[in-house]
Amino acid sequence: MSEKVYDWAAIAKNPKFIELHHKKQAFLFGWWIFSSVYYFLLPIGAAYAPGLFKIKIIGVINFGYMFALSQFFVSWGLALYYAHVANKDFDRLTRELINELHL
Amino acid sequence: MTFKKIIIAASLTITVAAVAFAEEPKSAPAAGATPAVSTTAPAATAPGVAAQTPAAATSAAPAPLKKNVELKANKAITLTMFAVIIGITMGVVVWAARQTKSASDFYAAGGGITGTQNGWAIAGDYMSAASFLGISGLISLYGYDGFMYSVGWLVAYITVLLIVAEPCRNAGKYTLGDILSFRTNPKPVRAFAAISTVAVSTFYLTAQMVGAGKLMALLVGVPYKTAIVGVGILMVGYVVFGGMTATTWVQIIKAGLLMSGAFLLSFLVLLKCNFNPLAFFQSIVNSPDIQDHVSKMVLKDGVTLTGIDAGQRFLEPGLFLKNPLDQISLGMALVLGTAGMPHILMRFFTVPTAQAARKSVIIAMFIIGGFYVLTTLLGFGAAINLTPQGIISVDPGGNMATLILAQTLGAEIAPILGDIFLAFLCSVAFATILAVVSGLVLAASAAIAHDIYVNVVKDGHADQHEQVMAARITSLVVGVVGIMIGLMAEKANVAHLVALAFAVASSGNLPVVVLSLFWRKFNTAGVISGLVVGTIASIGLVMVSPNMTYPLKVADGAKKVVAAMEKKQAELPPGATLSEKDAKSLAKAKVDSQLTGTSMMGLEKPLFTLKNPGIVSIPLGFIAAILGCLMFPNKRSEEMFDEVYVRQNTGLGMAKAIDH
């Protein structure tokens, strides 16, 4: 199959591409670090702050349980937020870049 | 409890045992063991009754009433459901086989899977029988710690979503080797990537096969070897004839069945507390059986807790996971390893665009996370309705909790419903095994056929027909080898293999994938040193870890059992003898206490004290990859970074990736 030849170096220097990859990199690594820190607080907290985990919040349901459950909602929330930003910003920037290059 | 049951339990907890501080399986012969629970149907020999006898004999105190819990599957209904699943999946294979003509069809379903379908397939690929049965079992016995353990399996997908899914879709084709060889010297990189893929898949596959054989033997009473061969033939059939298309649909069907089962069972559990979550948690704390169970557990640590306090303790951490460093280490392996698992990476090549890859991870996260949240209901529901003591009497690892719960809650509506519901969940477990092992066989054969044969041996010069033939023959060979390993490993200690697979994926594969995609200077030397050091460090650390069997430690434990049993015997009234179960464990402990010698590595005790090597091996993998690359800089790799980076961000030039 014949393949279109792209000038990759030129695309990489295109301001639109630079904007795209700066925005993406900041978002992806920033939120990845956030989610990892939030996750590791769970085993660390359970081991070193048992007193906090025992505090009852609603009825017999304690902070530890709520915190573990919150991990699921934080992950889902982050996934949906990423989908929203990617669909709105990253995909739009990519389309604009491709249009600009007339590819 | 017979020795064989301990082995069965331990191998079912394959993932669970990664952090388990419970007793390890030991590869000693298990003579005269009961092969399957379903054969212990007569009430007189039921394990539940046997477990009550010593308690009644030794203590006059009013012990909480124990339920007589047992598990017996209705063979006719169960086998019918198995046949239906086999029938449906075989239909899928016939349909898929007709569509599988090119290499792209075989490895990536022609890129024609939608985001939603792929999301279900990822969930089906990922959730093994151990997470289906093992985690709810852990919750039913240890409460909060079981729930906490399940969290990492979902959070792992954040890494997949943010870091690897879309770039891999844009930069890869069929395998890990495709991603890594883009701007490196392809032959050595592909060879090493293939070795690492085969290693990870083999570790995981061995654990799955042994677990599958034991589970099937336990559920429907077929011998272990028959179960392995049966599961193996189906697995080979799906992959060889139907390739990725059939594997995908088997995984989708399995995920659908699993979620229906979990929802239905959760509904029944909630029905019992009138859909009031507060009442549900209150009934955990108030259950006298759970209170008694927790009191006995904390007593071992020298803590006295009774009544409501003991019940409340069940909702607090620390009953099962006792070494925080080991947990953090496992967490690292999960969070980074899932994104380095070849069979998971491969799923992203089946969708047409990066957008579809993104959508599929998000859908998978809702399915997987939803399942683990329901697991809380199932696990605690089992503890309330069956009592931890009853669950232990059937299986000391708690793996049967979900199944017994289904049978019990179903039977409360109508006895036949209990049988049908249990049979349904058994067939979910069966479908689960098939889906996971098929995905693994496909990933391993893609690495051998596509990376080694087509690209290293044939220099990439193979027509479509030859590529598909190579793929089919390789899958057949990989499948047969998988069956043989399964047959040989029946009595082996496989509990640490899933942790090992995640350790290799996180320390070997993930660093080089991330650096290939995001670091300009990365090159051939970096890929190879990263893969080699990460893989060897993980395997090496596990070999000297507490996962291995140390005869002297086993002997120490056995001596304590002998002392306890002899004391018990001395306290018995004259003429009375120990119960059959105690007598057996005494006899076995006497044999074990004579054990001497060293572990496989010639060690008397573990050199590395953690069961999960991630906390050491992951940084080692990254450092080796970075150092290797800096020591042997390569200009061409640096120049090609623009291409990789533009491709992975924009998807430009992807036609090449699909059409070859």
Q: What is the ipTM of this complex?
A: 0.93
Contact A79 B361 (CB under 8 A): yes
Contacts of B159 in chain A (CB under 8 A): 32
pLDDT at B64: 43
What letter would DSSP give residue B49? Answer: H
* Count, residues in chain A: 103
Q: Which two tokens stand for residue B507?
A: 């320390």
In chain B, the percentage of residues whose pLDDT exceeds 70 is 88
Instruction: Say which residue, B214 or A55, is predicted with more confidence.
Output: A55
B155 interaction partners in chain A (CB closer than 8 Å): 35-36, 39, 71, 75
Of B546 and B536, more confident: B536
Give pLDDT, residue B596.
Answer: 76
Q: In angstroms, rounded to a whole number, what is the distance separating the alpha carbons of residues B107 and B612?
A: 32
Give the separation between CA B621 and CA B68, rounded to whole angstroms. 51
Q: Per the structure block, which two tokens stand in for B39?
A: 């054969």
- Percentage of chain B modeled with pLDDT above 90: 49
Mean local confidence (pLDDT), B307-318: 91
Q: What is the pLDDT of residue B8?
A: 36
The dihedral over CA atoms of B554, B492, B141, B386, expressed in degrees to the nearest 10, equals -120
Residue B68, pLDDT score: 60
CB contact under 8 A, B358 and A83: yes
pLDDT for residue B9 is more than 90: no
**Beta carbon pairs, A and B, within 8 Å:** 155
pLDDT of residue B538: 93
Are B478 and B440 within 8 A, CB to CB?
Answer: no
Which H helix or E strand runs over B617? Answer: helix B614-631
pLDDT for B3 equals 38
Instruction: Tell me how far CA of residue B455 lies from CA of B181, B193, B526, in angstroms.
Output: 11, 12, 20
* 3-state class (DSSP) for residue B492: coil
Q: Which residues contact B577 (CB under 8 A, 6 or more apart)?
A: B569, B583
Q: What is the mean pLDDT of residues B238-246?
A: 92
The C-alpha R_g of chain B, in whole angstroms, comes to 25
Looking at the complex, does the CB of residue A35 fall below 8 Å from at least one CB of chain B? Answer: yes
Mean pLDDT of B118-145: 90
For the ranges B43-52, B213-222, B480-489, the maximum mean pLDDT occurs at: B480-489
Query: Does A44 sit within 8 Å of B154, measured CB to CB?
Result: no
Put simply, whether A26 touches B (Cβ < 8 Å) is no
Q: Which of B33, B213, B20, B24 is nearest to B134 (CA)?
A: B20
CB contact under 8 A, A28 and B369: no
Per-residue confidence band for B381, with pLDDT thresholds at 50, 70 and 90: very high
Per-residue pLDDT tens for B316-327? 998 888 888 988
**Is A94 part of the contact surface with chain B (CB cutoff 8 Å)?**
yes
DSSP state of B74: -
CA separation, residue B630 to residues B43, B224, B409 (Å): 69, 51, 62
Q: Do B161 and A82 touch (CB under 8 A)?
A: yes
Residue B155's pLDDT is 94
Q: In angstroms, rounded to a whole number, what is the distance separating the alpha carbons of residues A52 and B360? A: 37
pLDDT digits (tens, 9 = 90+) for B250-298: 999 999 999 999 999 999 999 988 889 899 999 999 999 999 999 988 8
Tell me: pLDDT of B656 over 50.
Answer: no
Tell me B228's DSSP state: H
Over residues B63-96, the pLDDT tens digits come to 444 456 677 778 888 889 999 999 999 999 999 9
| DSSP-assigned beta bridge partners for residue A62 | A56
Q: Does A80 touch chain B if contact means CB atoms closer than 8 Å?
A: yes
**What pLDDT is attached to residue A98?**
85
Residues of A in contact with B144 (CB under 8 A): 64-65, 68
In words, the CATH class of domain B3-21+78-550+598-659 is mainly alpha
Q: Is A71 on the interface with B (CB under 8 A)?
A: yes
- Across the range B198-205, mean pLDDT stands at 91
> Can you tell me the mean pLDDT for B149-154?
92
Q: pLDDT digit string (tens) for B618-643? A: 999 999 999 999 999 888 888 888 88
How much is the pLDDT for B249? 94
Measured in whole angstroms, the distance separating CA A92 from the mean position of its chain's CA atoms is: 18
Distances from the Cα of B124 to the Cα of B127, B166, B211, B236, angstroms: 6, 20, 17, 18
Report residue A57: phi and psi, to 5°.
-105, -60
Distance from the Cα of B367 to chain A's closest Cα (Å) equals: 11
**Residue A67 contacts B where some CB pair is shorter than 8 Å:** no
Closest in A17, A46, A86 to B317, CB measured: A46
Q: Is the pLDDT of residue B40 over 80?
A: no
CA distance B308 to B314: 10
Q: Point out which residues pair with A58 in neighbouring strands.
A: A61
**How does pLDDT run across B581-606, given as a tens digit for each residue?**
677 777 877 888 877 777 777 787 88
Evaluate if residue B30 carries a pLDDT over 60.
no
Q: Where are the domains of chain B?
A: 3-21+78-550+598-659
Q: Do B282 and A91 touch (CB under 8 A)?
A: no
Q: What are phi and psi of B175, to 5 degrees?
A: -135, 170
Mean pLDDT of chain B: 83
Low-confidence residues in chain A, pLDDT < 50 = 1-2
Residue B415 vs residue A77, higher pLDDT: A77
The reported pLDDT for the residue numbered B638 is: 86
| Window B:272-301, CB contacts with A under 8 Å | 277-278, 281-282, 284-285
Q: How far, in Å, are B81, B199, B238, B646 from residue B243 at the CA level?
A: 24, 21, 7, 31
- CA–CA distance, B354 with B651 (Å, rounded to integer): 7
Range in A35-49, B125-139, B505-519 with the lowest mean pLDDT? B125-139
Q: What is the pTM of this model?
A: 0.85
Helix axes B580-592, B551-571, angle to 10 degrees: 140
pLDDT digits (tens, 9 = 90+) for B421-457: 999 999 998 899 899 999 999 999 999 999 999 998 8
The answer to whether B158 contacts A75, with C-beta atoms less than 8 Å apart, is yes
